[in-house]
């Protein structure tokens, strides 16, 4: 055994942030490289998972452990069970949320490594303050308590705290930053960290209060309605509240960036990490031995546990993939500037070696908190211009391919200024926002509505690119150099065996080889992008979704009717029935009157589907019941069958053949859907009241609308012993969102623009079903009203129905 491994062998490590990128690599390396070591992990419990269950699923089962799993073979599970423990806690909570058992476990550890952080550069200020600023001090407070507890029990307790910070606490301005505490740092302004905590919390409270002002709430509700249409009051309220919360969060992001930049940091991440260091040292420098490790930008592994290992995308990956897909044509940066990145395994090695050094240092020789940078900019600089050259050459040789199997030609970057790129992307985003509003107001559906979804995706990509520029532009333009003198001195003190086991020297990285042969192949592997020419022969996403939907394991299939199974609506049916027996002249006048009502009817339907149905069905008042029920069968054969979607009818039959229950939920009248009963196990529809052989125009049974459809499904599933999580719902409109959200397998059929966009965002399966070609095209209903519920209440009454029926009866008598 070597010096560092000897010092650490058999020791217990208490680690925060173990479910993150760095934390996972750290846990694996300790278990694999430090003999007989044990780890105690602080993990926030999940909604349905204990800390240990989360540790098993999110850490031990990660591919990071494949090497260790192979080395241990059959002993892997037993080794992990014996060497890995998890305690419930949260660094954003005072006392870390530890119970007595957790505090006892902490007191039994030798080294505490604090790697938990809100690493996003656009975290809301208050969240970053709670985790990055106050988190290290909370950990130190518990370490201090654990040391006292251990002393009371006759033990040593935690010997050393290793907080992981970031090199960027020193700022990104031109000049060299030394491995020293932040007091007197000439790049940033010194402020009282307590005042910053109070201000952040107060800002959150102020913004939350602002978000609840009546005019704000009205705006949030209006936005929710524009997104969801007539989806129901409950769903609209939920969406409006989510919009309100998101608004507060976004404002806190803006506040954080502004405050950070005003003090000399590029964003809230290094700002809160810097103040976290100051708070930690100010409070615990004399009572908790500590060594701060400051890595630069951490990227995929150079060698450990395997070359290219990465968990999630870091800073550079989204930019590189966007460039390779032709979506990001320019990005700011200084070609002569240093891109200070460091492979994750070098950072892990540094943390472990620093821990070993701490154990080897006698307590009387400890001289107070110290700092180590783990960065490449001084020892092994990697120029931004060279990175761009390598990425361009690699994707020219290994291009990504578009959906048609054609290679994507990557553009040449011109290294423009950040302001210019921001202005270009901002203009593009505003233009797409306007286009979305225009397209979203059009009565389009199906593949035409897919334009809306595609436009929304392009808008999202433009906003994402703008976000990359705003967040990361400062890091590509930085000219700061982070010295590593103390790190290299540590490297010099290591013997050869330790160096082979724990390489931490940035000079070990050959950047050309790392980018071309390790990093880029790794991120392409994880990015789910098309890397070969031609159409894929593998089942695509739609085929896989369809296979899941048509599994015998499913329970229930619920269908909407209008524009889901037939290209018709309640107005089409009324128009056909009302004009069925009219003379040609009256028929033309009737259609003209109905068409004139279209705008007001459309407005009513969009405002409230339930009100629309109630008011529209009053037109049936005084219509003869028997005549309309007979005509309902003629309507089916003459109009609805011609407008049906054969693929949709076939899908209903497929579900029945698989043993799935089928239910039709529609706003159509029972007399209209009666011919469809053989297709379904149950039908839920509207039914008009009757009196003296005439329809009253009032609904005896109001069909479920919006969220009421979800309730119907829940009650039906419970009564039949069915699981909605194993069920499907087919619908075409955003007003059906509650029903779609109630099941495990939602299907958007010929979706309108709003639903098409929602389905795309949520990854829902989409079907485009069409009428059979060659069928007859009945004269009525006329016009562009091929949209469910696009007509409604108006002055065209049921007199046409009753009069036509009387006229027909008279002709029959003659």
What is the number of other CB atoms lying within 10 angstroms of the CB of residue 545? 18
Q: Which residues pair with 299 in a beta bridge?
A: 343
Q: In Å, how far are 574, 591, 781, 790, 803 from 595, measured between CA atoms?
A: 13, 6, 10, 11, 21
Q: How confident is the model at residue 1 (pLDDT cuts 50, 70, 90)?
A: very low
Residues in the chain, overall count? 814
pLDDT, tens digit (0-9, with 9 covering 90-100), for 460-513: 666 666 666 655 666 666 677 899 999 999 999 999 999 999 999 999 999 999
Give the DSSP per-residue string, 121-188. TT--HHHHIIIIISHHHHHHHHHHHHHHHHHHTTS----EEEEB--GGGG-SSSEEE-SS-STT-TTS
pLDDT above 70 (res 75): yes
Please, which residues have CB within 8 angstroms of residue 490's CB and are 6 or more apart in sequence?
Answer: 350, 353, 354, 357, 372, 504
Average pLDDT over every residue of 428-446 = 62
pLDDT score, position 444? 55
How far, in Å, CA of 382 to CA of 515, rounded?
11
- Element housing 87 (H / E): strand 84-88
Query: Quick one: angle between helices 344-360 and 21-33, nearest 10?
Result: 60
Q: Which residues pair with 695 in a beta bridge?
A: 690
How far, in Å, CA of 697 to CA of 522, rounded?
66
Burial of 811 (0-12, 13-18, 19+ CB in 10 A): exposed
Q: How confident is the model at residue 781 (pLDDT cuts 50, 70, 90)?
A: very low
Residue owning tokens 């991440």: 269
> Which of 224-238, 292-306, 690-704, 737-751 is the least confident region?
224-238
pLDDT score, position 797? 45
Burial of 228 (0-12, 13-18, 19+ CB in 10 A): buried
- What tokens appear for 529 in the block? 């992008």
pLDDT above 60 (res 803): no
Cα dihedral across residues 312, 316, 322, 327: positive or negative: positive
What does the CA dihedral 385, 391, 396, 397 come to, rounded to 10 degrees?
130
Angle at 247 between CA 440 and CA 221, to 5 degrees: 50
Q: In Å, how far are 175, 402, 419 from 478, measured between CA atoms?
A: 10, 34, 15
pLDDT score, position 231? 66
pLDDT score, position 807? 43
> Shortest CA distance to 651 belongs to which of 568, 562, 558?
558
pLDDT, tens digit (0-9, with 9 covering 90-100), for 104-127: 999 999 999 999 998 777 789 999
Please, which residues have CB within 8 angstroms of residue 482's CB and are 6 or more apart in sequence?
Answer: 167, 170, 176, 177, 294, 296, 340, 373, 375, 377, 378
> Which of 42-56, 168-182, 194-208, 678-692 is the least confident region?
168-182
Q: How confident is the model at residue 402 (pLDDT cuts 50, 70, 90)?
A: confident
Burial of 732 (0-12, 13-18, 19+ CB in 10 A): buried
- What tokens appear for 37 in the block? 């070591």
Please, which residues have CB within 8 angstroms of residue 118's CB and are 6 or more apart in sequence?
Answer: 127, 128, 131, 132, 269, 272
pLDDT score, position 811? 39
Mean pLDDT, the chain, rounded, equals: 84
pLDDT score, position 203? 95
Q: Which residue has the higher pLDDT, 45 or 803?
A: 45
Helices (H) and strands (E) in the chain, counts: 33, 18
Cα dihedral across residues 492, 498, 503, 507: positive or negative: positive
CA 35 to chain centroid: 40
Q: Which residue has the higher pLDDT, 47 or 147?
A: 147
Query: Quick one: angle between helices 418-440 and 753-762, nearest 10?
Result: 130
pLDDT score, position 161? 96
How far, in Å, CA of 684 to CA of 247, rounded?
39
Q: In Å, how far are 83, 349, 609, 790 from 605, measured between CA atoms?
A: 63, 64, 5, 6
- What tokens appear for 254 in the block? 């803006």
pLDDT above 50 (res 773): yes
Angle at 459 between CA 454 and CA 461, to 5 degrees: 95
pLDDT score, position 184? 52
pLDDT above 60 (res 813): no
pLDDT above 60 (res 384): yes
> Which of 44-48, 177-181, 656-660 is the least confident region?
44-48
Q: Which residue has the higher pLDDT, 408 or 489?
A: 489
> Which of 371-380, 460-469, 605-614 is the least confident region?
460-469
Please, which residues have CB within 8 angstroms of residue 386's CB and are 6 or more apart in sequence?
Answer: 511, 512
For 443-570, list the strands marked E by DSSP. 480-482, 556-559
- What tokens appear for 643 in the block? 């407008």
Q: Which residue has the higher pLDDT, 596 or 792?
A: 596
**What is the three-class DSSP state of 559?**
strand
> Shortest CA distance to 374 belongs to which of 292, 439, 313, 440?
292
CA 407 to chain centroid: 28
pLDDT score, position 211? 96
- Element housing 712 (H / E): helix 707-720
- Own/partner contacts of 311-316, CB < 8 Å, gap of 24 or more, are 311/20, 311/21, 311/24, 311/25, 311/62, 311/64, 312/21, 313/523, 313/526, 313/527, 314/21, 315/121, 315/472, 315/475, 316/341
Q: Which residue has the higher pLDDT, 10 or 461?
A: 10
Residue owning tokens 């599994």: 551
> Which of 131-145, 423-437, 577-591, 792-806 is the least confident region?
792-806
pLDDT score, position 464? 63
Q: Three-class SS string for 642-711?
A: CCECHHHHHHHHHHHHCCCEEEEEEEEEHHHHHHHHHHCCEEEEEEEEEECCEEEEEEEECCCCCHHHHH
pLDDT score, position 354? 96
Give the DSSP per-residue string, 57-77. IIIITSGGGHHHHHHHGGGHH
How far, in Å, CA of 296 to CA of 190, rounded?
22
pTM over 0.95: no
For residue 291, how many C-alpha atoms fall within 13 Å in the half-sphere facing its CB? 24
pLDDT, tens digit (0-9, with 9 covering 90-100), for 319-357: 787 778 776 666 666 777 788 899 999 999 999 999 999
Q: How confident is the model at residue 51 (pLDDT cuts 50, 70, 90)?
A: very high
DSSP annotation of 724 reads G
Give the DSSP per-residue string, 765-805. EEE---PPTT----S-S-TT--STT-----S--THHHHHHH
> Shortest CA distance to 85 belongs to which of 131, 108, 52?
52
Average pLDDT over every residue of 574-595 = 78
Give start and end residues of each alpha helix (H) in 597-645: 598-607, 609-616, 625-635
pLDDT, tens digit (0-9, with 9 covering 90-100), for 160-195: 999 999 999 987 666 788 999 987 555 567 789 999
pLDDT, tens digit (0-9, with 9 covering 90-100), for 282-323: 999 999 999 999 999 899 999 999 999 998 765 567 778 777
pLDDT above 50 (res 248): yes
CA 710 to chain centroid: 24
Cα dihedral across residues 255, 258, 264, 267: positive or negative: positive
pLDDT score, position 185? 54
Give start and end residues of each alpha helix (H) in 441-484: 450-476
pLDDT score, position 439? 60
């Amino acid at each position: 055994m070597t010096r560092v491994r000897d010092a650490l062998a058999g020791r217990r490590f208490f680690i925060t942030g173990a479910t993150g990128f760095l934390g996972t690599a750290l846990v694996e390396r300790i278990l694999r490289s430090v003999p007989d070591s044990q780890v105690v992990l602080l993990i926030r419990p999940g909604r349905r998972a204990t800390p240990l269950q989360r540790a098993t699923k999110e850490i031990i089962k990660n591919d990071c452990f494949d090497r260790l799993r192979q080395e241990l073979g059959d002993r892997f599970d037993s080794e992990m069970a014996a060497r890995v423990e998890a305690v419930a806690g949260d660094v954003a909570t005072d006392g870390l949320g530890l119970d007595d058992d957790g505090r006892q476990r902490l007191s039994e550890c030798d080294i505490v490594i604090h790697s938990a952080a809100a690493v996003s550069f656009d975290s809301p200020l208050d969240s970053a303050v709670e985790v990055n600023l106050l988190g290290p001090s909370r950990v130190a407070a518990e370490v201090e308590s654990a040391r006292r507890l251990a002393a009371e029990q006759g033990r040593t307790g935690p010997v050393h705290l290793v907080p992981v910070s970031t090199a960027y606490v020193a700022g990104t301005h031109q000049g060299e930053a030394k491995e020293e505490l932040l007091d007197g740092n000439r790049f940033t302004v010194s402020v009282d960290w307590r005042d910053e905590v109070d201000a952040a919390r107060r800002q959150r409270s102020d913004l939350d209060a602002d978000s609840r002002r009546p005019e704000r709430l009205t705006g949030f509700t209006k936005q929710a309605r524009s997104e969801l249409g007539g989806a129901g009051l409950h769903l609209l309220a939920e969406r409006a509240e989510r919009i309100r919360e998101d608004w507060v969060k976004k404002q806190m992001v803006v506040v954080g960036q502004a405050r950070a930049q005003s003090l000399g940091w590029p964003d809230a991440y290094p700002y809160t990490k810097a103040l976290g260091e100051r708070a930690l040292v100010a409070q615990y420098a004399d009572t908790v031995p500590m060594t701060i490790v400051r890595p630069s930008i951490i990227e995929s592994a150079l060698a450990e546990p395997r070359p290219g290992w990465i968990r999630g995308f870091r800073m550079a990956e989204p930019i590189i993939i966007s460039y390779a897909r032709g979506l990001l044509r320019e990005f700011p940066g200084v070609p002569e500037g240093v891109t200070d990145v460091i492979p994750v395994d070098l950072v892990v090695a540094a943390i472990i070696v620093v821990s070993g050094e701490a154990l080897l240092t006698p307590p009387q020789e400890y001289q107070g908190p110290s700092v180590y940078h783990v960065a490449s900019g001084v020892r092994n600089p990697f120029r931004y211009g060279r990175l761009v050259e390598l990425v361009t050459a690699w994707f020219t040789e290994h291009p990504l391919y578009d959906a048609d199997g054609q290679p994507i030609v990557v553009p040449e970057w011109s290294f423009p200024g950040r302001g210019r790129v921001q202005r270009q992307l901002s203009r593009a985003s505003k233009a797409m926002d306007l286009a979305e509003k225009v397209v979203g107001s059009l009565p389009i559906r199906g593949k035409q509505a897919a334009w809306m979804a595609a436009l929304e995706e392009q808008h999202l990509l433009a906003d994402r690119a703008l976000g990359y520029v705003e967040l990361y532009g400062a890091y590509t333009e930085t000219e700061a150099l982070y010295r590593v003198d103390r790190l290299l001195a540590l490297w010099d003190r290591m013997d050869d065996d330790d160096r082979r086991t724990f390489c931490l020297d940035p000079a070990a990285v050959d950047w050309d080889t790392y980018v071309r042969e390790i990093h880029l192949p790794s991120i392409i592997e994880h990015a789910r992008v098309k890397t070969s020419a031609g159409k894929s022969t593998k089942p695509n996403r739609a085929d896989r979704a369809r296979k899941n939907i048509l599994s015998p394991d499913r329970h229930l299939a619920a269908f909407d009717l209008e524009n889901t199974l037939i290209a018709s609506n309640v107005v089409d049916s009324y128009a056909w029935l009302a004009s069925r027996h009219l003379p040609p002249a009256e028929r033309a006048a009737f259609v003209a009157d109905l068409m004139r009502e279209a705008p007001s009817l459309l407005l009513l339907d969009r405002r409230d589907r339930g009100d629309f149905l109630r008011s529209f069905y009053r037109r049936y008042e005084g219509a003869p019941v028997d005549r309309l029920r007979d005509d309902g069968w003629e309507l089916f054969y003459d109009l609805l069958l011609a407008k049906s979607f054969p693929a949709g009818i076939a899908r209903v039959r497929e579900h029945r053949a698989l043993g799935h229950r089928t239910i039709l939920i529609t706003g159509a009248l029972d007399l209209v859907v009666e011919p469809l009963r053989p297709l379904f196990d149950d039908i839920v529809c509207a039914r008009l009241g009757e009196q003296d052989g005439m329809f009253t125009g009032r609904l005896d049974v109001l069909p479920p609308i919006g969220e009421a459809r979800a309730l119907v499904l829940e009650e039906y599933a419970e009564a039949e012993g069915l699981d909605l999580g194993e069920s499907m719902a087919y619908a075409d409109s955003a007003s059906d969102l509650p029903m779609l959200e109630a099941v495990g397998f939602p299907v958007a059929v010929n979706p309108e623009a709003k639903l098409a966009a929602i389905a795309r965002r949520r990854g829902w399966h989409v079907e485009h079903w069409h009428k059979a070609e060659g069928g007859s095209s009945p004269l009525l209903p006329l016009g562009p009203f091929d949209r469910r519920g696009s007509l409604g209440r108006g002055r065209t009454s049921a007199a046409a129905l009753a009069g036509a029926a009387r006229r027909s009866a008279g002709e029959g008598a003659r």
